[in-house]
Structure 1
Amino acid sequence: MTSPRAEFAPHMEHYTFVLEDQPYLGYFQYGKEKTPVYHTDRHGFRVTPGPGGLRATVGDERPDGPARVLAGSSAVFGVGATSDAATITARLWNAHAPRLPWLNIAGQSHNSAQELLLFTLFQHQLPAIEDIVLLSGVNNLVLSRLPEEQQGRHGAFFDCGPAPDVIPPTEQRVAHAAELTLRHLGGWKTLAAGLGTRLTFVLQPLASWVREEPLPREKLLFDELDEVSNFRRFHHDISTMAVGRAYADRLAAGCARLDVPFVDMNAALTETAGPQDWLFIDRVHCTDLGYDMVARQLADRLDLA
């Protein structure tokens, strides 16, 4: 019998999450990877294909002149997309905000500290940057399940210790994740100011923060993943729409204090997605349609062209 994942998302077998150990970052994609669904440049950044056969990468070829950056973790990398052309950066460059190339600066399974460090380590490779859009926030909340001794001074990262038996209270998880996210966003603001670049923070979408109930196909996929993972057991308390809105409110207030524009992509998709639009491959990663809708919302709400 064919599993829902094999039937509806066979390309997901190529997203193996086998990452290379890296100093400072902990782990990152391998350079020069070529699979049927994604390609990376010499440093491990995903390639963004553009119009007319152009490509934009951090470490390899790109058009001359300024560019824009979309930064974050696996959703920005494009896990779930059927090809490089279906990622958010590709949809922005080819359809919704095509004036400048878009660079995909994302590390799978990165927290907010790793996202900031990644940009800092490779800033010397970048052209002039007009916009930095940071699409993030979920991983910090997921990692908030870990106990204080694994959080360190700058937040826990994936694979830094065994899963706990006791999960902190939901309110504590939300407060901790928001504090870390906003602390590191302050670092982004300092960098953006030095570069003369506009910075925007966007809370990335989580399936249960967009819809109370998944579509039947989404539910089949989620249920299959739950059989082999602990997501439901560890994160059922943060998966409600109410928690998503509370987290967004904390981040929105913090962004206002920092004078950084804020967009809640969950609320944006709730407002614009049709009732039968298949948005999510799993709870964190989108389908091609989902990523295209995220790109459209970014272009519209940030007045990109």
Structure 2
Amino acid sequence: MSLSDRYKIASQMSDYDKLNDEWIPYIMKFHCPNSYLGSVSTNNLGFRNSVDCDGRVLSDKCLYDDSCQTKGKLGVVVGSSVVFGVGSTSDEFTIPSQLNRITSTNWHNFGGRAFNSTQEILLFLLNLPHKLDKIVIVSGVNNLTLSYMNDSVSTIYSPFYSQSVFSDFGGTPLGVRLSFKHFINEMRYRIFGSRISRNSNQYSIVERYKAVISCFKRDLRVIKVIAKGLGVSVYFALQPLVTWIKKDLSTEEQKLFDVLDSASGMWETLSGYINSMKLEYFRDIQKLCSGVDIQFINLNEYSEFTSNEWLFVDRVHLTDAGNKIVANILRREFNL
């Protein structure tokens, strides 16, 4: 089986594989601006378009133009690809767009594919709105995954996806790439790579985990300081991961996971680590949020994700129905 077999089950994934990135200062890479594919589109800054309750694309003008008048408050949802909405059949079914349907706030999509928490915060900082009322962060999985995959330890510079590509980069233009296929290749290299043996890594799993947690702590403190300065509320939700949920898989989910496992051949190794760190990671993230007074919820603990409904297009990314569940929980628990 190949990754393209996913398209027979979830045809929208073809668009996400085709969506290109470009090299960007400070955050490494970001979605190409003004991209228009059948299931996904980006604005002139590369952010995914967010759709309001009437089906209209939200303009980011009111985030940056003090003279702009808007109905309702302004909010941003910060995170990685789950916020960006990989798996959604259109822009109107991402988490921010789903929130626009059920709250009076205008939610903008500040998600970046394959971002760690540092990149998420930098993206927000570089595009800091002039006007804002609420910040919701839906994140967490990438940081833990990278604590296993990285080859070095730093309490300042968090490891990031495509790090091996950056290390080898010699000035050649990024060009067209298939993002998900590259992600799979990156993980395969990190786990089974020939250039660096995992047995020869000078840093233990514990050291790498502690370094990533240290960076995560810094990132949460930064966004709390920014939010306090702006006088806005900030909330954090640990994103759902199938590996952490006792879910009855739907027929579609099982087929998709079979395709992915066959194509990558590394999930069993990675999932063993992720599961072994589950409870410790849950406690640590909750403690980090509490330490900087950020309201926290763990989406993996909600029974809505355990049914046999088709909620995931892979073990991380959600279907339209999965995004709707997340939006409803966020609204209810954070009183959005």
Cα gap change, 1:52 to 1:61, in 2 (>3 Å): farther
After alignment, is 75-84 or 251-260 more displaced? 251-260
Give the corresponding residue for 1:7: 8
How much has 1:150 moved relative to structure 2?
A: 6.4
2:69 is equivalent to residue 102 of structure 1: no
Partner letter of residue 140 of structure 2?
G
Unaligned runs of 5+ in 1: none
How much has 1:18 moved relative to structure 2?
A: 2.7
Partner letter of residue 219 of structure 2?
H
Cα gap change, 1:221 to 1:75, in 2 (>3 Å): same
Distance 1:61 1:116 in 2: 17
How much has 1:278 moved relative to structure 2?
A: 1.4
Distance 1:74 1:147 in 2: 19
How much has 1:41 moved relative to structure 2?
A: 0.6
- RMSD across aligned positions (CA): 2.6
Cα gap change, 1:169 to 1:211, in 2 (>3 Å): farther
How much has 1:296 moved relative to structure 2?
A: 0.4
Aligned pairs, how many?
297
How much has 1:119 moved relative to structure 2?
A: 0.6
Cα gap change, 1:239 to 1:110, in 2 (>3 Å): same
How much has 1:231 moved relative to structure 2?
A: 4.4
Distance 1:23 1:44 in 2: 13
Q: What is the TM-score when the length of structure 1 is the normalising length?
A: 0.88
CA contact (8 A) 2:76 2:136 kept: yes
How much has 1:52 moved relative to structure 2?
A: 2.7
Secondary structure of the 2:127 match is helix
Moved beyond 4 Å, runs of 4+: 1-4, 59-63, 167-174
How much has 1:179 moved relative to structure 2?
A: 2.8
Give the corresponding residue for 1:281: 313
Distance 2:133 2:213 in 1: 26
Distance 1:232 1:295 in 2: 28
Partner letter of residue 180 of structure 1?
C
Equivalence map 1:187-206=2 (5 Å): 187-206=222-241
Q: Which has the higher contact order (CA 8 A, sep 6+)?
A: 2
Cα gap change, 1:204 to 1:133, in 2 (>3 Å): same
Unaligned runs of 5+ in 2: 165-188, 192-196
Distance 2:249 2:209 in 1: 23
Equivalence map 1:123-272=2 (5 Å): 123=128, 126-149=129-152, 151=154, 153-161=156-164, 162-164=189-191, 165-166=197-198, 174-211=209-246, 214-240=249-275, 243-268=277-302, 271-272=303-304
Distance 1:298 1:175 in 2: 28
After alignment, is 231-240 or 33-42 more displaced? 231-240
2:99 is equivalent to residue 64 of structure 1: no
Q: CA deviation digits over 1:123-179, x for unaligned, max 9?
A: 1xx242111001111111111123453657321111112525428766555544333
Q: What is the TM-score when the length of structure 2 is the normalising length?
A: 0.81
Partner letter of residue 15 of structure 2?
H
Give the corresponding residue for 1:32: 34
User: Which of residues 65, 70, 84 in structure 1 aligns to 2:91?
Assistant: 84
CA contact (8 A) 1:77 1:107 kept: yes
Between the two proteins, what is the percent identity of the paired residues?
31
Partner letter of residue 90 of structure 1?
S
CA contact (8 A) 1:116 1:188 kept: yes
CA contact (8 A) 1:140 1:180 kept: no
Distance 1:201 1:53 in 2: 27
Distance 1:174 1:57 in 2: 39
CA contact (8 A) 2:237 2:296 kept: yes
